[in-house]
Amino acid sequence: MSSERLRVLIFGATSAIAAEAARLYAARGARLYLVGRNADKLARLTGSLDGASVAGARSADLDETAAAVGLVAEGIAALGGVDVAIIAHGLLGDQLASERDYAAAAPVIHTNLLSVIALLIPIANHLEAQGRGAIGVCSTVAADRGRPRNFTYASAKAGLNVYLQGLRTRLGPSGVTVHTFKIGPVDTPMTVDHRKTLVFARAADVAAGMLRTIDRGRGEAYLPWFWRPIMAVVRALPEPALRRMPFLAGR
């Protein structure tokens, strides 16, 4: 997909990966409408971009699903339409708390699944009527297999992946592409408390992979690429075998 004067709507724009995607699209000459929770971070991001690239920005709590239709409509109006919509917000949560207390689990499920669907419905409806466009959504390699260290978060993303599969099939005949970004660990503020290993990627590299995925029309992409063979093995492991592998089944 050519990005010349593309109109790009980004939700969760203040996340490290989405901010890098915004910079890459701006460098291509696209017009952007950015939505993020943190007003200060959003102001810094828009200030770092060429003013001609930013059609508008809005600070909003994306967990407020009742506002989703209005937020989508506002962004589309500011851009004069939309060619690419990216949804990049998420909540890792506290796994130990979430498996012992529904009050801790519910926000993780809500943010990673329900709040995303609330945005996807109006975006999909608009692009389907338009007859073209692309939707990209950040997911995770963790959703490929339930493991003790993050299964609440992973289960929400797994549900999202299935929803995106169905949406991709629904919208394909209308000329709209739907892209699932299955992202491995990334060195961002979201993982600041995690021990960093060699498999941690840079946000800029992941963002570049997201744009390539959309450009090439690929439905699902593992980012970085090496997670595809790794997760193929992890998915194929019988559960008894996985339980005997502390590096996979441990906390």
pLDDT digits (tens, 9 = 90+) for 36-66: 999 999 999 999 998 899 999 999 999 999 9
- 52 in a structural domain: yes
- 53 in a structural domain: yes
Q: What is the mean pLDDT of the chain?
A: 94
User: Is the whole model's pTM more than 0.85, yes or no?
Assistant: yes
| Neighbour tally for 244: CB within 10 Å | 9
- 2 in a structural domain: no
CA 184 – CA 101 distance, rounded (Å):
27
**Which active-site residues does the annotation give?**
153
215-237 pLDDT, tens digit per residue, is 999 999 999 999 999 999 999 99
Domain with 205 in it: 7-249
| Number of domains observed in the structure of the chain | 1
108-119 pLDDT, tens digit per residue, is 999 999 999 999
- 1 in a structural domain: no
Residue 5 to residues 51, 147, 212, Cα–Cα distance (Å): 14, 43, 17
- 186 in a structural domain: yes
**Which CATH number characterizes residue 18's domain?**
3.40.50.720
